[in-house]
Structure 1
Amino acid sequence: MEFESSLTLLNSDTPFLLEKRIKLLEAIKQEGSISKAAKLVPMSYKTAWEAVDAMNNLCSNLVVKKETGGKGGGGATLTLYGENLLKTYCILEKEHKKFLKSLTKLTDFHTGNLKSLKRFAMQISARNQIVAIIKEIVEDKVSANIILETKSGQTMVSNISKNSIDALGLKIEDEIIAIFKSNNVMIATNELLGLSARNKLKAKIKNLTFSDVSCEVQLDISNDEILTSIITKQAALQLELKVNQEVFAVIKSSDIMLGK
C-alpha cells in the first residue's frame, strides 16, 4: 500500500490550480487552441473555457491569452505568467510526490501507525545549507567524491560513502543540499594552493560578531548565498578580518554532508 493524492492550490479558499487544469494548460501550450486542448485532456469545450476564465479571474495576472472565433474555436497561448505558473506547479508536484513517498516509507500499514512522524519536523543544527547541482560522481569500492556546483557557479566537493549514494539515489544533475557546520568553515585571506582541503570558496565578509572567545563571520558567496563561520577571536584578530574583505571559505570534503 502507498499514499496517493493530487496537488491543489487554493486562492482565498477557492480551488485555483487543480491537476486537470494543469493538464489543460499543458495542452493549450501544446495545441495553441482551447478547443483542441479540451479534446486532449479530455473535457468539454464549455468546461475548458470556464476553467480558463476561472484561472484568469483568480490570478493577479493573465494566465491564458485567448482569441475567439475561427474554424478551430479560436487560438490561445499561455502568457509568460502562465508559463511560470505551470513550471512552479510542476516543481511543487514533484516535491509533493516525494513527500508522499517518504510518508509511505514511514507508515506501518499493518498497524496503521506512523513509524516516526517527528522526522518530518526534524531540524538540524548545522548552520550552513546550500543548494547545489551534482555535476560528477567519482566512485571507488567504498566512497565517492560528489562534485557540486553552487548557484553562484562555484565548485564544491563532498566525500561520502558509496552506500549513501545508493540510499539517497544520487545522480548527475540532481539538486541537493550541501550541509556543513559553521565551525568546519575555515577562513583564509588567500587561496592557499598548497592546502589539502578540497573546497575553497571565494567570499566577501558581510558581518563580524565578536564574543569574549570567538568570532562569527558571515560570508557572502553570491547575492543569495550566505555562509557562517565560527573561528576564535584570536584568529580573527590575527587575520585582521574586516567587513567587505575578500577571503576564502575553506571546508574539507569529508565535512560536507548531502541532503535530498
Structure 2
Amino acid sequence: MPGEIKKKELFERIESAIIEILGVNLEVAKGSITSGIEVDFSKKKLKLPQIFLNNENFAVEEIGVGSDAGIKKEENTDTFTGDGKISEFKLTKEPASIINVKLKKDNENKWENLREIDDRAHFDNFKIDYKKSIVIFRTTPEKGTEISVNYYTQADFSETKGLKFNLNYKIDVFEKSSSELNNLCTNIIKILLLERPSLEGSGILITLSGGESIGNLPDTVYGKSLKYLIETELIVELPPLKKMEEIEIRKRGEAK
C-alpha cells in the first residue's frame, strides 16, 4: 500500500546500526550481540559475554503544522552552452516556477546567479515563457558560457507525512564476573558516546538515560541493563497529488 509505514524496517534500522557499531568496537565473539531476544539464564546456558538490545516502549508524535512534513515537488535542471548568438533556450520540461538561473563564463570558475528582476536597471535579466517552456535572456550569453536553469516542473507533486519516534531501549549485558561486567558496560557507554555523531548522521539520536542491575540470575552470571533514549524520524511519501486545475469541482446538488 502506498504510504504504508513499516515498523519493522524502522526498528531494524536502529538496531542494526547499534549492533554494527558495538560489533566493530568490542572484543566479543561474533553472534554474542543480538536484538529482539529475552533470555532466561536459569533455563538456557550461553557462552558469556552476551549483549541483548531490546525496545521496551516508544511514543510517537506527528511532525509539522497539520502533521505535514512538507510538499515534494519534481525538480529539474537543464544545462546549455551559449554560442554568442542564441538568447532563447528551450527547457526539457514544463516549468511551474524557477528556483535559480546561473551563468558561468568561459574560462571562469565562478557561477553568477541571475535575478529575474534587476533592481538597479528595472528590467529583466531573463524571463520565462511558461506556455512555451522557454527561458529568454536579455543579453545573449557569450560563446562558451555555461547556463544552468533549475526549476520546479508542472508534474504531479506528492505530500509527505512525518512522525517523530521517542524510543526507550535497553541493552542487557551479561558477564562471568562483576569486574568483567563493569568493564564491558563502561566500554559500551564509551563507544556509543563516541559514535553519537555517526549515528546522528544516520538520523538516530541516542542518549544514555540510566541503568540497573539485573537480578534473579545464576551464581555464575552477572548482569546489568543500560537504558537509552533514542530519537528518530520517519518520513512517508504519499501517492502523487493532482494539480489543482485537474481536480473536478462539482456544484452543490450536482449528481456525481
State the TM-score, normalizing by the size of structure 2. Answer: 0.20
More strand by share: 2
Larger radius of gyration: 2
More helix by share: 1
Structure with more contact order per residue of length (Cα contacts < 8 Å, sep ≥ 6): 2
State the TM-score, normalizing by the size of structure 1. Answer: 0.19
